[in-house]
Amino acid sequence: MIGLRFEIKHRPSYSILLVELGAGETITAEAGALTFMSPNVEADTRTRQKGLVRSLATSVFGGQSFFVTDFTAVGGPGEVALAAAPLGDVVELEVGPDQSYVFQRAGYLASTPGVELDVRWEGFTRGLFGQGLFMVRAEGSGSLFLNTFGAVEARKLAPGERLVVDNFHLVAFSDSCEYEVRRFSGWKETLFSGEGLVTEVEGPGEVYIQTKNLREFVEWLWTILGPKVSSRRAR
């Protein structure tokens, strides 16, 4: 799809992706991402591309749903609105022959035909990305839309330039970047600073960072809900 017409509204906290489809045009989205659509848009839910085994791999190891939905405008133009569960932003990345991206496993929202998702195993030394051992790689050609928790900070790294990012804040980076996952400073800092693992990314390429940390948000939420849950259990 060339020249995709879209708008990202209500940024950065409650973003929604509005896509205008011409007759016969299709946008693929994560299962459950639909907010609303035109009556002439047809939805077709299917397993992910590259066959059953690779679809299962992307689902189980990549943190993505086993299913995606293709939305196609039939008989004329139509509109599709897509959104994700986290309170945050949506960012578009242009994927091309010389520009692939590696992104956090739960970040996928939608993509145009021609963008393919693949799981890349990096082992224990390089693959501790976010909460899992697997990352998702987007390749091919087209638009990739990722959802984030909080707003997005984009950085462009020159060759040899480095940036250290907390794993839970790292959204995506160019496949042209080198990276290494490691502890945050020494053991004392790792245990008591609350930082845990970080990823050091080296350019050239782009790095996308989310301003909020889902793990910290859940821990903060539990400080409020935990005592209430405990008191009810004690009754």
The pairing of beta strand 67-73 with beta strand 101-103: unpaired
Q: Which residue has the higher pLDDT, 213 or 171?
A: 171
Separation in Å, CA 6 to CA 57, 110, 128, 143, 179: 30, 12, 33, 11, 32
pLDDT digits (tens, 9 = 90+) for 108-167: 999 999 998 876 545 444 545 444 446 788 999 999 999 999 999 999 999 999 999 988
d(CA 58, CA 65): 8
pLDDT digits (tens, 9 = 90+) for 162-171: 999 988 899 9
- Domains of the chain are 5-149+213-227 (3.60.160.10)
d(CA 191, CA 201): 22
